[in-house]
Amino acid sequence: MGVPALIVAAGSGQRLGAGGPKALVELGGRPLYAWSVDAFRRADHIDRIYVTVPPGLADRFTEAGIVTVDGGETRSHSVANGLAAIADADDDPGMIVVHDAARPLVSPALIDAAVIGLDSDPELHALIAGSPMTDTVKRLGGDGVVIETLDRSELVSVQTPQVFRTEILRRAMDAGDLAAATDDASLVELAGGSVGVIESPSGNIKVTVPGDLDLAALLLERDR
Ligand code: CTP
Ligand code: MG
């Protein structure tokens, strides 16, 4: 079984502040997005790799074998553009994996486990990477004062990769508020879909601010 991957890499990287798109920032001698492309190439259950890129910069995404697609205004708009490209290419086996280029340390094993996990559970519409919370989480009121401490055993912090049944993702995105969505799975939840969580290793960090890039470089060096 092989499914398409959609790596979203069209963001501008404001918080990283590198003066250019985050996906092209150097990490361990390669552009950040190339690490994700490499992990998806090495996964057994991925066929083709689509990458959303900042409009006008496709020629700077030179990794072999990828299909570039212009991204949109928000992350969700980029995902929608990628889905449209996959439909245009008649390349939909029924499932799709969405991943943030900002998570360069994703492992092929996690990608494959998520694809197999969704494929083997007909009750689920999506299966997303997540980790148990290690911090205690509190809910605040508008005045900044704590209202309550949440039950940590009920919480997960979620990440990518996220694997979807393509049809429900497409429907959820058509009906949803793309500008407001923080991830694609939340649109599927709002559309009534059932979303499972697969535990992801703690190393699957997201590069958001400069310190994250330093941490990613250290983890890469450790695992080399
Ligand atoms: N992304 C995208 N299209 C957008 C915005 C984001 O494809 N219009 C991608 C980013 O490239 C990134 C992922 O979505 O891989 C997660 O977004 P985020 O970490 O917020 O990246 P940026 O939007 O680039 O960073 P910032 O919010 O700091 O500007
Ligand atoms: Mg962003």
Ligand 1 close to Cβ of residue 22 (< 6 A): yes
Of 212, 221, 21, 198, nearest to 113 (Cα)? 198
pLDDT of residue 1: 80
Mean per-residue pLDDT, 68-77: 97
Residues in the 5 Å CB sphere of ion ligand 2:
11
Question: Which ligand has the nearest atom to the CA of 51?
Answer: 1
* 224 pLDDT above the threshold of 90: no
* 131 pLDDT above the threshold of 90: yes
- Reading the block at residue 120, the tokens are 């083997």
CA distance 9 to 102: 7
CA distance 221 to 224: 5
pLDDT of residue 76: 96
Of 42, 157, 159, nearest to 98 (Cα)? 159
* 141 pLDDT above the threshold of 90: yes
Q: At what angle do helices 166-175 and 75-88 cross, to 10 degrees?
A: 130
pTM (whole model) above 0.85? yes
Q: What is the pLDDT of residues 200-218, one digit of tens each?
A: 998 999 999 999 999 999 9
- Reading the block at residue 83, the tokens are 């889905």
Ligand 1 close to Cβ of residue 81 (< 6 A): no
Question: Which ligand has the nearest atom to the CA of 178?
Answer: 1
Residue 182 binned pLDDT confidence (cut-offs 50, 70, 90): confident
